[in-house]
C-alpha cells in the first residue's frame, strides 16, 4: 500500500470514528445538561425566609363567642396535607394623613352622586346624604371602605317588584356601579363573581333559592387569587367583602339599594417571606381552641376533612396581608388559624 493510500485510509477512519465520537459527546453533554437542570428544578436551592418587615401585627378577627370543639381528623387517603415551611406576606399602602384621605373620600362620594358635604360620625368615618334619592354613603376615609344604603325595607314599590336581573345582567349592573366610583379594581375584575337571591319582606332581608321568589339579587366580588392559587378569604363564609345588592326596580335611583366595600389595595409585587407553622402545629392550635370560626356548628364534636393555606382579607387597618390555615369539617364547619410562626408576631 502506498503511503498516499495509507494516509487517505487513516483520514477516512478518523473522520468516520471522530464524527461518531463527536456526536456521542454532544448527546452525552445534552443528556447531562438536561439531567442537571431537572435535578435543580426537583431540588431547588433552599432560600431562608427574608422576614423584611420585622414582627408582624397579630391578625384581628371579628369578635365572636364560640365554644371549643373536640376535633378529629380524617383526610383523603389518610394523608395529611403538607405545605412549604414559609409563605409570603404582602404589603398594603394606605394614605397616612387624614386630610388627604378625606379629600379622596369626597372625590369618591361625588363619583357616586353625593354632592353635599359630609359630617363626621366617628373618627375617620364620614356620612354623605343625597336628599333626592334618599341614599346615604358612609366612608371610612382612613381605610378606604364604604357602605351605601337606600331604605329599601320601607319602599313598597321595591317590595312589589316582580322580576330581578338575571346573573349576567346583575353582574353588569354591579360592575358598572363600582366602575363609576373608580372602585372596580383589576383583582376584582379578574376574580370570581357569585350571585345570590334575596327577598325583602316583613322588614327583613332573607335569602331565597330561586330568582322567581326574589325581589333583590346580590353580587359578591371575590379578589383574584394571589399567585393564581391562594384564595383571599373574608371573615364570613359565603360572603365577599365587596358586594352590591340590586333591586328589580325600573327606576335607576332605586336599582342599587345597598353596597358594601371593605377592600385594601394589596401590592402583589411587594412582599417578604416568613416562616410558617407546620400543619401539625396548626392542628395543635386548633385542638387547643386557638382558632377563629368562620362558619361554626352546634355539635361539640367536629371531624376535619381538609386543610388548605389561604390569605385573610385585611378588613382592619393593617399594612399586611398574612397567610392562614383553613380547616374544613363536617356540616360546613370552617376555622381559621394564623399561619405565621408566633415568634414573628408582635406581642
Return the pLDDT at 194.
96
Backbone angles phi, psi at 42, to 5 degrees: -75, -25
Return the pLDDT at 4.
57
User: Which CA distances in Å does 130 have to 69, 114, 115, 178, 327?
Assistant: 48, 6, 8, 18, 44
What is the torsion angle, in degrees rounded to the nearest 10, for the CA atoms of residue 101, residue 102, residue 105 and residue 110? -140
Return the pLDDT at 292.
96
How many CB atoms lie under 10 A from the CB of residue 241? 22
Return the pLDDT at 294.
95
Structure confidence by residue, pLDDT tens digits, 302-319: 999 999 999 999 877 789
Q: Which residues contact 232 (CB under 8 A, 6 or more apart)?
A: 222, 223, 225, 226, 266, 310, 311, 312, 313, 321
Return the pLDDT at 143.
85
Distance CA 204, CA 11 (A): 98
Residues 183 and 217: beta-carbon distance below 8 Å? no
Return the pLDDT at 100.
82
Going residue by residue through the chain (347 aa), what tens digit of pLDDT does each one get?
A: 456 565 556 556 555 555 566 676 667 766 766 766 655 565 667 899 999 999 999 999 999 999 999 999 999 888 999 999 999 999 987 766 667 888 989 999 999 999 999 999 998 899 999 989 999 999 999 888 999 999 999 888 888 887 899 999 999 999 999 999 999 999 999 999 999 999 998 889 999 999 999 999 999 999 999 999 999 999 888 899 999 999 999 888 999 999 999 998 899 999 999 999 999 999 999 999 999 999 999 999 999 999 999 999 987 778 999 999 999 999 999 999 999 999 999 98
Return the pLDDT at 314.
84
Output the pTM of the full model: 0.82
Residues 258 and 148: beta-carbon distance below 8 Å? yes
DSSP string, 79-95: ------SEEEEEEE---
How many CB atoms lie under 10 A from the CB of residue 214? 21
Distance CA 109, CA 244 (A): 16
Find, among 277, 230, 294, 243, the residue nearest to 90 by Cα.
230
Distance CA 333, CA 304 (A): 8
Distance CA 261, CA 239 (A): 12
Return the pLDDT at 55.
97
Structure confidence by residue, pLDDT tens digits, 256-292: 999 999 998 899 999 999 999 999 999 999 999 999 9
Residues 260 and 297: beta-carbon distance below 8 Å? no
How many CB atoms lie under 10 A from the CB of residue 268? 15
E strand residue ranges, 99-161:
119-122, 125-130, 135-140, 145-149
Residues 92 and 53: beta-carbon distance below 8 Å? no
Amino acid at each position: 500500500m502506498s503511503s498516499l493510500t495509507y494516509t487517505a485510509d487513516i483520514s477516512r477512519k478518523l473522520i468516520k470514528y471522530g464524527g461518531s465520537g463527536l456526536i456521542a459527546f454532544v448527546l452525552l453533554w445534552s443528556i447531562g445538561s438536561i439531567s442537571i437542570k431537572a435535578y435543580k428544578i426537583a431540588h431547588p436551592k433552599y432560600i431562608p425566609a427574608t422576614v423584611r418587615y420585622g414582627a408582624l401585627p397579630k391578625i384581628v378577627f371579628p369578635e365572636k363567642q364560640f365554644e371549643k370543639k373536640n376535633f378529629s381528623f380524617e383526610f383523603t387517603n389518610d394523608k395529611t396535607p403538607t405545605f412549604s415551611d414559609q409563605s409570603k406576606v404582602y404589603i398594603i399602602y394606605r394614605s397616612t394623613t387624614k386630610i388627604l384621605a378625606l379629600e379622596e373620600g369626597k372625590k369618591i362620594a361625588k363619583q357616586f352622586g353625593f354632592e353635599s358635604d359630609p359630617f363626621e360620625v366617628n373618627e375617620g368615618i364620614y356620612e354623605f346624604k343625597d336628599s333626592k334619592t334618599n341614599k346615604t354613603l358612609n366612608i371610612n376615609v382612613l381605610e378606604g371602605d364604604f357602605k351605601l344604603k337606600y331604605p329599601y325595607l320601607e319602599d313598597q314599590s321595591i317590595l312589589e317588584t316582580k322580576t330581578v336581573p338575571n346573573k349576567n345582567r346583575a353582574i353588569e349592573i354591579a360592575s358598572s356601579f363600582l366602575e363609576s366610583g373608580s372602585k372596580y379594581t383589576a383583582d376584582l375584575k379578574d376574580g370570581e363573581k357569585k350571585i345570590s337571591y334575596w327577598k325583602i319582606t316583613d322588614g327583613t332581608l332573607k335569602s331565597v333559592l330561586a330568582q322567581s321568589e326574589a325581589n333583590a339579587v346580590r353580587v359578591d366580588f371575590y379578589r383574584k387569587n394571589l399567585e393564581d392559587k391562594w384564595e383571599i378569604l373574608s371573615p364570613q363564609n359565603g360572603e365577599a367583602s365587596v358586594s352590591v345588592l340590586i333591586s328589580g326596580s325600573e327606576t335607576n335611583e332605586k336599582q342599587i339599594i345597598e353596597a358594601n366595600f371593605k377592600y385594601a389595595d394589596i401590592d402583589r409585587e411587594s412582599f417578604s417571606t416568613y416562616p410558617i407553622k407546620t400543619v401539625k402545629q396548626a392542628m395543635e392550635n386548633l385542638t387547643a381552641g386557638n382558632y377563629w370560626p368562620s362558619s361554626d356548628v352546634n355539635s361539640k364534636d367536629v371531624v376535619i376533612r381538609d386543610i388548605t393555606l389561604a390569605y385573610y382579607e385585611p378588613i382592619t387597618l393593617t399594612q399586611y396581608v398574612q397567610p392562614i390555615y383553613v380547616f374544613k369539617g363536617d356540616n360546613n364547619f370552617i376555622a381559621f388559624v394564623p399561619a405565621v410562626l408566633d415568634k414573628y408576631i408582635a406581642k
